[in-house]
Amino acid sequence: MNIPSQITTLLAGIALTLVSFWYGQNHDLLPISASVESIRVDSLFNLMMTIGTGIFLLVMGILVYSAFKFRREPGDESDGPPVHGNIPLEILWTAIPAIMVLGISIYSFDIYNENGGADPMDHSMAHGKAHQQMASMPGSAMAGTLVAQADPNQQKAEVVNSDPTTAAIREDLPQKKDAPTLGVVSPKIGGAEPGAPEFVVNVAGMQYAWLFTYPGTDVVTGELHVPINQKVLVNITANDVIHAFWVPQFRLKQDAIPGRQTEVRFTPNRLGEYPLVCAELCGAYHGAMNTKVVVESAEDVQKWLQSQQVASAEGLSKAVATTPANMTETEYLAPYAKEVGISADTLKQLHSEHHSMS
Amino acid sequence: MNDREPLTFLMTQAAEYQEQANLVARGSEPDKNDWRKYFGFSTDHKVIGIQYLVTTFIFYLMGGVLATLVRTELATPASDFVSREVYNSLFTVHATVMIFLWIVPAGTGGFGNYLIPLMIGARDMAFPRLNAIAFWIIPPAGILLMSSFFVGAPGSGWTSYPPLSLMNGKAGELIWILSVLLLGTSSILAAVNFIVTIFKMRIPGMGLNQMPLFCWAMLATSFLALVATPVLAGAMILLSFDLIVGTNFFNPTGGGDPIVYQHMFWFYSHPAVYIMILPVFGMISEIVSVHSRKPIFGYKAIAYSSVAICGLGLIVWAHHMFTSGTPPWLRMFFMITSMIIAVPTGIKVFSWLATIWGGKLRLESPLLFAMGFISLFVIGGISGVMVASVPWDIHVHDTYFIVAHLHYVLFGGSVFGLYAAFYHWFPKMTGRMLNETWGKIHFALSYVGFNLAFMPMHKLGIEGMNRRIAEYDPKFAALNLLCTIGAYLLAVSTLPFLVNVCWSWVYGEKASDNPWRGLTLEWMTTSPPPVENFDADPVLATGPYDYGMGSRATEVNVAFSDASDPVLSAGPSSTLRAKPDPAVAASPSDRVGESHNR
Ligand code: HEM
Ligand SMILES: [Cu+2]
Ligand SMILES: [Cu+2]
């Protein structure tokens, strides 16, 4: 190798690095970021994009260069040099990618932990009741049946628990019906997690709509309103088939699975309306199963909740069998005039022992 | 030793050296080729291989028509071309056909069958009848699947997740299950056959490390198929019980768990992506080395990375389920294993590049498609690592980003690789050369069409377009139109290939035994080879990739008395080895590495 070719290689290497770093930050592929979580995901993507661009340019560069440089002369039937390998080089191109993917893994792990909101199971404990409450909401018919239906195992458990000694410690025994997901049998073990959510919404997916309920209120809507800069917890389930809750601007997605409750957490940080998309094939109209998320100030959310309260009260009294039929509308709505979101009556009506709504 | 004169020849080229050594083994010209055998129950692995290739290519065309219909619907945002139900059936059957009736059977059954016995110097596969049965399962299964359009085709995606798959049309779903079960059975039968053939039927002197890399790839592929496919069969059978008998394995209304299905499905279907790509990896190793006139760079690294991929491929399946309520520790586990699988994959890519580097490239269709394969597969590998990262996958799972990723690896990867293989081995299979100009046109059209159709999908997915939808937000219209135009171009690109193959098969220029001057044993017999491939056991005078090792005059005395005598084949004691050993290059500056495979 002569010196000029080494210099060219060096220059090519520098150019490749610079282009990769530039493109990693300026690819213009990402939509608007509207949550604290999405900022982190974007930084991860930018890193992967930088590395990816570098690898892509390297491989393409070698291929294109070879195609021109190493093309056989017409009529040359001889073979190339008998190079069978080069152990140090092979170790190098095993080690460098290994270190890269390890780095990406660690970084991803970090971001994943910081974005703990996307975690479906860690926080199941504190919100077991919220799930229960959701399950009895209209529009959660199937999930409701799942929990409420006579379950032979649960019946056996009840019998065992009627024994006086067992009854004494009953509170400490995990109940299958309280399990946040199928297969998780000890939901009562473990404490409440730090940083409890400030705003809880329950959502049920069904062919082909999303139904949002706001615990502590009677509001059932087809769109999601959340306050800006507050930790939001969305409990997710589905009534019929699997759906998926996806807000591209939050970079978060979680499947809505019939018979299970999952959750997604985020902190919106940008006012506006964003698409909320069903991302799991759920039938013919899957492509139309969209709604919107509205990020607004906390006051606006409360205002909106009140207006919805009035609007949906009638519908709800029909839908929820436990709503006292003899209640007048004024009586029914009275508690909300005082304090939106907290109403002992409503809570009772909804069989909710929920406690976290502020 | 025998009555024949010891042959003395001037060794100028590794290929000639290998050919000279195998003059005895070279099959006699087959008498008139009877085309009727291709339509019957033949037990000849070459006939079966061609049967597989032609059959699967016909299914590929059908799958392509379905894809074109899908893209036509997506040319505009509204659902205005077919009904939404039909749209779902279109992409469901499209994916099922492409995977189970084209790439898997073409790569393993087609090229595997044709090449493996030839490459290891055998007369046929270990179980010829089983081989024929494995093939004859495919046409009825394929016809069955396509016929579902008459009763309402399945429409819950090729993944067929319950409960949706239990709620759509029963008949279509049942047909889907049945045909997948049949195709899975065929795949298992073929896998058993490959494993036994490769382990038991190599010519004497061909150790595992002297096998062509395609054999390593087929070994890894067959092992995956053998381990993973039964689990898919289990899932299918349970799903069919839920569907017909009303059991509740996966149906949550009766206490079943739909997520268990996903685990079972992906336990097969992730390895399945390697079943689709490993044979192609193997063929690319062959093609790149022959057409660059250089030994494959890092034989052992490539061979063992296939084995590593095979092992790792079995423990990454839940990366398809990062948003399915998978617990965090599982997400992390599957993220790390998925990331690690990029390392052996990278080893292969870099080894191919190093093989090309400094070679004497014959830039014709086989190598063009092989280089196209490398460039496109790398993009799919990069997006693969991205989606293996949990936080990023949570964003792009089930979006067009995934559609882009999977087409870069499956179309840019497997299909481009299969095309490279068609161009490379067509002369051996038919005794005729393909037309080179049309090959180049085919390559240019597919390369441009492919990138036009699938590159924009990355952006679509990231920006918020979910997959499997018949209608979409008008803000995505422009890019989708571009994708549709690319898809049409891609559809058109098939025509030059089809015409070229049909015309050349009959009128093409006659091919010599070894038109590319390759070293592997399939080139050491006639084109096309006779029924039993070789007249005597071929011998390994050189390793499969020893290009450039004989480019100097060396006199060798070769006695061809007993071709099956290991002394005459490879190995240190072989009399066939040139002295001085060609593993040591002529000039010291060329003496970069030892031949790893002799
Ligand atoms: C670098 C190696 C690779 C990695 C790390 C990787 C990773 C992944 C991941 C994580 C997914 C799931 C994404 C999601 O659905 O959210 C995926 C999807 C997919 N991959 Fe890969 N992949 C790699 C290579 C390949 C190869 C070689 C093939 C096939 C030849 C392939 C075929 C597919 C297919 C078909 C899907 C989509 C399945 C579906 O949902 O229908 N991938 N890949
Ligand atoms: Cu949907
Ligand atoms: Cu996978």
Closest residue in B to A61 (Cα–Cα):
B375
Q: Which residues pair with A235 in a beta bridge?
A: A202, A263
For residue B565, is pLDDT > 60? no
CB-based contact, B399 to chain A, within 8 Å: yes
User: Which of A163-177, A257-271, B465-479 is predicted least confidently?
Assistant: A163-177
In this complex, the residue of A80, A248, A253 whose CB is nearest that of residue B323 is A253
Domain span at residue B288?
23-507
Cα–Cα distance, B490 to B506 (Å, whole number) = 26
Does residue B398 form part of some domain? yes
What's the pLDDT tens digit per position in B85-131? Answer: 999 999 999 999 999 999 999 999 999 999 999 999 999 999 999 99
- As a whole number, mean pLDDT of residues A222-244 equals 90
B584: in domain: no
Q: How far is B158 from chain A (nearest CA, A)?
A: 11
Specify the range with the lowest mean pLDDT, choosing from A180-194, B50-64, B396-410: A180-194
Q: Does A184 touch chain B (CB under 8 A)?
A: no
**CA nearest ligand 1 atom 33, residue:** B406
Determine the distance separating the centroid of ligand 1 and the alpha carbon of B385, expressed in angstroms: 9
Counting other chains too, the contacts that B49-52 makes at CB distance below 8 Å and 24 or more residues apart are B49/B109, B49/B110, B49/B111, B49/B112, B49/B113, B49/B114, B49/B115, B49/B429, B50/B110, B50/B114, B50/B429, B51/B135, B52/B105, B52/B106, B52/B109, B52/B110, B52/B113, B52/B135, B52/B138
pLDDT score at A149: 41
C-alpha B429 – ligand 3 centre gap (Å): 34
- Judge whether B176 and B182 are in contact, CB under 8 Å: no
- Confidence check: pLDDT of B593 > 60: no
Ligand approaching nearest to the C-alpha of B413: 1
**pLDDT confidence of A333, banded at 50, 70, 90?**
very low
Structure confidence by residue, pLDDT tens digits, B181-191: 999 999 999 99
Please tell me the distance from the alpha carbon of residue B444 to that of residue B534, in angstroms, as a whole number.
37
- Rounded Cα distance between A137 and A142, Å, is 10
Give B301's pLDDT tier (boundaries 50, 70, 90).
very high
Any residues with Cβ below 6 Å from ligand 1, and which?
B 159, 273, 276-277, 319-320, 338, 341-342, 345, 381, 384-385, 387-388, 393, 397, 402, 405-406, 409-410, 413-414
Domains of chain A, by residue range, sit at: 1-57+97-115, 186-326
Share the mean pLDDT of chain B.
87
As separate numbers, helices (DSSP H) first and strands (DSSP E) second, chain B gives: 19, 2
Collapsing DSSP to helix, strand or coil, A253 comes out as strand
Least confident of A318-327, B140-149, B514-523: A318-327
What's the CATH number where B394 sits? 1.20.210.10
* B residues 526-585 closer than 8 Å to A (CB): 545-549, 551, 582, 585
Q: Which residues surround ligand 3, an ion (CB under 5 A)?
A: B 270
A186-326: CATH architecture: Sandwich (2.60)
Element housing A60 (H / E): helix A36-69
Q: Name residues 467-496 of chain B within 8 A of A (Cβ).
A: 467-473
Q: Do residue A62 and residue B356 have CB atoms under 8 angstroms apart?
A: yes
For residue B296, list chain A residues with Cβ-Cβ distance below 8 A.
84
Ligand nearest to the CA of A244: 2
What pLDDT was estimated at residue B122?
92
Tell me chain B's radius of gyration from C-alpha atoms. Answer: 25
Chain B residue with the nearest C-alpha to that of A245: B323
Q: Tell me which residue in A56, A62, A82 faces B379 most closely, judged by beta carbons.
A: A56
In-domain check, residue B254: yes
Residue B69: exposure state from Cβ atoms within 10 A (0-12, 13-18, ≥19): middle
> Distance (Å, rounded) from C-alpha B417 to C-alpha B395?
31
Interface contact B330, partner A, CB < 8 A:
no
Which pLDDT score, from 0 to 100, does residue B486 have? 96
Average the pLDDT over B27-37 and give the result.
74
- Picking from A66, A83, A207 by the largest number of B CB atoms within 10 A of its own CB, the best residue to mutate is A83
Q: Determine the distance separating the centroid of ligand 1 and the alpha carbon of B384, expressed in angstroms.
A: 6
And the tokens for B17?
């050296």
CB count within 10 Å of CB B593 equals 17
Say what the pLDDT of residue B224 is.
95
B364: exposed, middle or buried (Cβ count in 10 Å: 0-12, 13-18, 19+): middle
Which chain A residue has its CA at the smallest distance from B382's CA? A52
- ipTM surpassing 0.90, yes or no? no
Q: Could you tell me the pLDDT band of residue B576, with boundaries at 50, 70 and 90? A: very low
- Residue located nearest, by CA, to atom 43 of ligand 1: B384
Cβ-Cβ pairs closer than 8 A, A with B, add up to 314
Ligand 3 center from residue B265 Cα (angstroms): 11
SS3 B561: coil
Confidence of residue A45 (pLDDT cuts 50, 70, 90): very high
Tell me: pLDDT of B397 over 80: yes
Ligand (nearest to CA of B345): 1
Ranges B17-26, B112-121, B546-555, most confident: B112-121
| pLDDT in the model for residue A7 | 87
More confident residue, B398 or B550: B398
* Residues of chain B found within 8 Å of residue A255, distances taken between Cβ atoms: 323-325
Chain B residue with Cα closest to A57 = B375
Q: Which residues of chain B lie closer than 8 angstroms to A60, CB-CB?
A: 375, 378
Work out how many domains chain B is built from and give that number.
Answer: 1
B381, pLDDT greater than 90:
yes
According to the model, what pLDDT value does residue A337 have?
36
- Chain A within 8 Å of B88 (Cβ-Cβ)? yes
pLDDT for the residue numbered B550: 60
CA-nearest of B29, B24, B125, B39 to B530 is B29
Closest-approach residue (CA) in chain A for B383: A52
Residue A202 sits at the chain B interface (C-beta within 8 Å): no
The Cβ-side half-sphere exposure at B430, using a 13 Å CA radius, reads 25
**Residue B76 maps to a domain:** yes
Cβ neighbours for B264, distance < 8 A, ≥ 6 positions apart: B231, B232, B234, B235, B238
> Is B127 domain-assigned?
yes
